[in-house]
Amino acid sequence: MKKQIQIHLDKAIQKRSSLIKPPYNTAFRLLNGFSEGIPSLVIEIFGRTVIFHDYGSNEDLNENASKPIADTEEKTDISTDAEVSDSLEETVVIPGPDSPDDKETESKSDLILEMAIEIVKEQLPWVLSGVLKKRRSQVPEERSGTRLFGSEICSRIEENGVLYSVNLLMNRDSSFYLDTKLLRKWAKENLGGKSVLNTFAYTGSLGVACLAGGSKKVIQLDLHRKFLNVAMRSAKLNGKEVKESDYQTCDFWSRINQYKKSKKMFDCVILDPPVYSKTRKGTIDLANNYEKLINKVRPIINDGGYLITISNALFQRGDDHTSVLDKLCADGYLKIEQRIDVPDDCLGNAATIKQFLPADPSPYNHSTKITVLSVKRKSPAV
């Protein structure tokens, strides 16, 4: 077993060798155990801090939790080095949290974690601190993360020339979603001079990418001020003026209604909702009522503008999600311009990744289904 752990981790590190370079100030996924043979462990790098996401207990995950509180499992998968066979039958998978013998599994999980810490320290000596997140712990502090070693935890990273503030101990996830890297790149390159509304912004990385690309106005919406505070710090890191009024703590349904009444319009709306959420004003259920969210924001998008949709519904097939979008596009006022992939470090072996997911995400390459739609209006004038 120790030999297999070593092999899997060595291959994962080798696979990401192009990402491992000075000044060690970016972020990427180093290991996705779910599709790289070690299903109890995911490893992420943020600057010079390594995060170990330990899935080694049998507590069930609830996909119906809001995304900032319970990061859904589709955000944690990667595969193997090119030298590894694409056939799953030839890949040795170390038993994970779904094995029948719980005590034996927990013991194996502890061994995997110990070895992973040792290997990372040995092969990546520039890593100065480590954090452990027990993803299925009953203790909130353990889910948010505890310090394993080192004194200074990374507080900012750089991606595609943009600086982002991170708080690696604030939440169950890492406060920064690695799977939307290519969307941030698209936003920076395509939304210059545009007005943007980033709904369900969380820590606002998508909105910050827009600002870095020269968007003339970016409004970030979220229910929780502590997340928007991270977004504000990111904007300041990039030398952008921060106006409190652009970072709005509010309910999505109420605020969109206010925008409609005041005839406030945007050139782009980013729709990145949690898998499931319910407030007094409305319910979000991505697998069953995503079209309701889309129709809610369509009236506030300018003619010729964009609607960016992100669905993290792990158990929804990609063709089912596409069917929802196709129906909405049937009247000609919405058009799918492109689908944006999840990056390789979050995918791994594209030939096998889909076999590890509970639902086939095709035509998307991952359960995080990102789509850019163009918008036409019956009357361009508001």
Under DSSP, the state recorded for 23 is T
Where are the extended beta strands (E) located within 140-245? Answer: 146-149, 156-159, 162-165, 195-199, 217-222
For residue 334, CA distances in Å to 239, 263, 353, 378 come to 35, 20, 30, 11
Q: pLDDT, tens digit, for every residue of 299-344? A: 999 999 999 999 998 899 999 999 999 999 999 999 999 999 999 9
CA–CA separation, 181 vs 357, rounded Å? 20
pLDDT of residue 73: 34
Distance (Å) of CA 348 to CA 82, 115, 335, 342, 378: 9, 21, 30, 10, 43
Q: What is the pLDDT of residues 219-233, one digit of tens each?
A: 999 999 999 999 999
CA distance 37 to 355: 13
**What's residue 85's pLDDT?**
30
User: Could you tell me which of 74, 77, 79, 75 has the C-alpha nearest to residue 15?
Assistant: 79
Closest to 217 measured CA to CA, from 251, 233, 240, 236 = 240
Please give the order of strands across the beta sheet that includes 146-149. Answer: 27-32, 41-46, 49-54, 129-134, 146-149
Model pTM score: 0.86
The DSSP 8-state label assigned to residue 352 in this structure reads T
Domains of the chain (ranges, CATH numbers): 2-156 (3.30.750.80), 179-375 (3.40.50.150)
